[in-house]
Chains A and B, each alone.
Chain A
Amino acid sequence: MASKEKRRIAVTGIGMVTPVGNTTEETWDALRAGKSGADQIASFDASGFSTMIGAEVKGFDREAAVPDKKLLKFASRSHAFALAAAAEALADAGIAPTEEDSHRWGLTVGAGMMSVAYDDLKVIHDYATDENGYFDADGILNPDFPGNPVNFCRWQSNAGLGLLTKQFGIRGYATSVHTACASGGQAIGSALKAMRRGQCDRMLAGGFDSMLNPIGISGFCLLGALSTDNDNPAGASRPFDKTRNGFVLGEGAGFLVLEDWDKARERGANIYAELAGDGNSLSCYRITDSPPDGNGPIQAIHQALGDAGVSVEEIDYINAHGTSTQMNDRSECAAMKAVFPDRIHDEIRVSSTKSSMGHLIAAAGAVEAAVCCLAIRDSMAPINANYGEPDPDCDVNLVVGEAKPGRIRAALSNSLGFGGSNSSLVFRNPEEVPA
């Protein structure tokens, strides 16, 4: 398909709340320096868990970030990140929905899975279990049961969508997706498609998640997916290093403001990049494992390049999914080598910024899409931190030691999720867009 026939979409605003910074610029500074956001978990007593480390958002002031107190009451930790990051993105873009055009604004979000807070589950435990801890439904009918409908609303699958559309007055197309670790990337891809088919003129697109709580981290501990380098939190996430042993759980949110290219130009907006292409495939292999030969991710990357009309010669930076698990990193490298056989070993700069931020799960793809836009803006590839021992299966051109300068014509962001969903996005340098 000829890309010139497609409606061109601009990225004009970025907002981030991450373990390495509560704003876009703070996050970007840390990623260029390869600074780690991981540490001993401080928000709860994790001393009994097999993994005691995580990359938490630090010093985040909910009240300051979400001025609407009524809305804040309904917001979970990850919703508050989302509201803050989305507000930053809109402020950065210098535009927001108005009475006249709110129906032409849309929203897509990659939302984390429904996981109940430990304290809420404790309430169920205290009222509605027998002596062995087995659930007894009648217990919640106890007149003293403090069940609060506000908590209930918070855990509905599209609660984040409801809060965001209300906060910013977005009245057009709105959707919420969850494909595990690919959610954020798929949300941005969905936005691209909705804009191309003319459903919206401007959109807010991103992801948010926080599983850094006792129940959230339990699921990953049980699976053995997390690094257990409890005495070395800053070095625990080491994507593509031979000694990698699992990911470091992070949390946060990332949002982009997307606009019709011509409309953005007309109003003199600052354009970070063109959101040029989306690719989306299902591996159909195993639920947690990635196919060793990259079959699945390969199709997603090819589709994204094709959709963008960008050749394999034009990609200068890849923000890899790079979780720091043995299987993922090997599979992703196999895919990158299959698609870019001639350039992946020395020309294309590759980094996984999860080495600094940890894995933001449903927010990861959105935050990393934003990183690609910043890399294009500053002609700078951020660091793949903590890399020491080479793995022959992962012999790609990693950005090691310090951020690597150099113009980026186009960048690729990969997100590969549990369940086998693969999302690839291509961003084009605005200078490469024909006038």
Chain B
Amino acid sequence: MKNASEKIVFTGSGIVCGAGATVSDVWNVLESGETAIGPYSKWDGENWPVKVAAEVKESNRDLVSDRKLHKTISRTDMFGIYAAEQAIADSAVLAYRDGLPEEEQDGFNDRTGLIVGSGGGNYTSNYDYLPLITEAKESLHAFGKELSNQVTPMWLLKNLPNNVLCHVGIRGQLKGTNACITNQCASGIMAVAESASAIWNGEADRIVAAGHDAPFEPEMVYYYHKLGLMSSRAPKPFDRERSGTVFGEGAASVVLEREEEAKERGAGIIGEFLGFGCCSEATGILDLRPDGDGVQRAIEQALNDAELSPSEIGMICAHGNGTPASDLTEAIGIREVFGEAIPPVTGFKWAYGHLIGASGIADLVMTLEALKRQMLPGIATLGEVDPVLGDFPVSNGVSQPKSRNALVICRGFGGMNVVLAVRV
């Protein structure tokens, strides 16, 4: 799957979520054991069955200083632009470009890619049409006639799923290979996997990968709750009393490049991308296979791609969304690969909620931080591990990774399972 002679490294990272707007802020929350999930402010939750979420606290102006953009993009896009530009700044890759002779800069831009995983859209964006429906009094003819008087001409552009791709691209002149992945929960983590693949394939020398989403909105909460997927308090992954997940929102980003070039330009190296696995369980939109088949195969693919044996893995950042079925089948899949020698497992959704399209890439950024610090934050909300899972190595306290290699697992609708193997 890859050209083993060429190492791909992470040279920058960025994150924004309910737990903070820098990697170290979010780390502090993970380490403290105090969840960032709490009462929300987006609407009045008093009558709602779910009254908590992990909202991003930063205002649009905190996230994107260019106020012209505020009118033409959505809040989820602000998260994505902020995290991507944080990762770019952290990597100093564009500062390096700007120091190159001018005649080399165009070529550098053409070899710099950008791959974004996007949540794909929000229900609330369509609510811009609601006053028009009132005005039109049930008549579609009147709806069409009054359209331009009621709704902003920029409506479509404000809601394009690929806005972060477009605007980070324009702002940084990243003109190389690109994609916008709309694969629900797997979107952000797939952006990282596709970025590494594209560099290995010679399509680009460096790629900014980002994932962003803002799933926390009334209709999402309503339907997730109706489907039995929501908890009314911070989720308790792998706990016998787990009852569902809670939404977060935000974005995360990493910069990937060839190790050789990163070293040449004196970049700080955060970690190494080793390989990935990706598969579908072919179970439709919501269903999961009871045997953990997709989790197992995605882990095996990632280990194979990374040329690692299970015993070399020092920790696993699980998807652990806190729903009964997902956590159970995830644990089964992990056990199928590791047998009784499962490395320490953790997950971070108890702290910053489920970021859906950004969840996997946020978990990656924090896993790299955990490896760097050689410290594994536990699942602070964990009371008693579900006995059905057997001897499953999760805890509510801090532990230590067994090695410098980690797996990050991400699962999503569509029976998706994606696993990354990384090293610090």
Contact = CB atoms under 8 A, between A and B. Distances in A.
Given A103-B279, A190-B179, A219-B155, A299 B110 contact: yes
Interface string B169-191: 11001111111111110110010
B157 A134 contact: no
Interface in B191-235: 194, 197-198, 200-203, 218-219, 222-223, 226-227
Interface in A164-192: 165-166, 168-180, 186, 190
B200 A157 contact: no
A218 B180 contact: no
Contacts of A311: none
Contacts of B157: 223, 287-288, 418
B175 A299 contact: yes
Contacts of B183: 157-158, 161, 174-176
Interface in B6-32: none
Contact of A215 (B2, B126, B203, B293): B126
B124 interface: yes
Contacts of A400: none
Contacts of A420: 165-166, 169-170
A46 B145 CA distance: 10
Interface in A48-77: 48-50, 71, 74
Interface centre among A153, A155, A157, A199 (most CB of B within 10 A): A157
Question: In the complex, which range does the number of interface residues on chain A fall in?
Answer: 35 or more
Nearest to A288: B157
6 contacts: A147-B226, A162-B286, A176-B181, A222-B148, A282-B114, A287-B160
Nearest to A140: B222
B244 interface: no
Interface in B116-139: 118-121, 123-124, 126-127, 129-135, 139
A269 interface: no
Interface string A130-147: 011111011011000001
A214 B143 CA distance: 9
Interface string A239-265: 000000000000000000000000000
B392 to A, nearest CB: 26
Interface of B: 1-2, 43-44, 47-48, 72, 109-110, 114, 118-121, 123-124, 126-127, 129-135, 139-148, 151-157, 159-163, 165-167, 169-170, 173-184, 186-187, 190, 194, 197-198, 200-203, 218-219, 222-223, 226-227, 278-286, 293-294, 297, 357, 412-416
A116 interface: yes
A163 to B, nearest CB: 7
A421 B178 CA distance: 7
Contact of A179 (B123, B131, B165, B184): B165
Which of B2, B127, B153, B154: most chain A CB closer than 10 A?
B127
Contacts of B179: 177, 179, 186, 190, 280, 421
B285 A419 contact: no
Given A149-B227, A157-B161, A174-B414, A121 B178 contact: no
A122 interface: yes
B156 A222 contact: yes
A205 to B, nearest CB: 14
A173 B121 CA distance: 24
Contacts of A174: 183, 278-280, 414, 416
Nearest to A285: B170
A269 to B, nearest CB: 23
B175 A133 contact: no
B121 A114 contact: yes
B144 A149 contact: no
B173 A284 contact: yes
A281 B114 CA distance: 9
A124 B414 contact: no
B47 A141 contact: yes
Contacts of B190: 175
Contacts of A270: none
A152 B294 CA distance: 24
A48 B414 contact: no
Contacts of B159: 113, 219
A281 B280 CA distance: 28
Given A49-B144, A198-B1, A419 B162 contact: yes
B176 A152 contact: no
A52 to B, nearest CB: 8
A180 B179 CA distance: 11
A417 B162 contact: yes
Interface of A: 1, 44-50, 71, 74, 102-103, 107, 111, 113-116, 118, 121-122, 124-125, 128-129, 131-135, 137-138, 140-141, 147, 149, 152-153, 155-159, 161-163, 165-166, 168-180, 186, 190, 193-194, 196-199, 214-215, 218-224, 280-288, 296, 299, 303, 417-421
A284 B182 CA distance: 21
Contacts of B198: 193
Contacts of A158: 182-184, 186, 412-414, 416
A344 B145 CA distance: 43
A101 B347 CA distance: 33
A277 to B, nearest CB: 11
Contacts of B124: 135
A22 B336 CA distance: 45
Nearest to B283: A166
Given A48-B144, A103-B297, A197 B284 contact: no
Given A222-B153, A299-B110, A48 B175 contact: no
Contact of A157 (B121, B133, B143): B121
A199 B1 contact: yes
8 A-B pairs with least C-beta separation:
A48-B144, A133-B134, A157-B120, A219-B156, A114-B121, A162-B414, A133-B131, A49-B144
A171 B282 contact: yes
A106 B361 CA distance: 22
B130 A165 contact: no
Given A47-B144, A282-B178, A421-B179, 11 more contacts: A102-B282, A103-B279, A111-B182, A121-B129, A122-B133, A133-B134, A140-B222, A152-B223, A157-B161, A171-B282, A421-B180
A162 B201 contact: no
Given A180-B160, A288-B157, A125 B413 contact: no
A370 B167 CA distance: 31
Given A186-B179, A190-B179, A419 B143 contact: no
B169 A284 contact: yes
A176 B152 CA distance: 29
Contacts of B200: 197
A241 B115 CA distance: 35
Given A141-B47, A281-B178, A421-B178, A132 B129 contact: no
Contacts of A214: 140, 143-144
Contacts of A175: 181, 183, 186, 190, 194, 278
B219 A152 contact: yes
B413 A197 contact: no
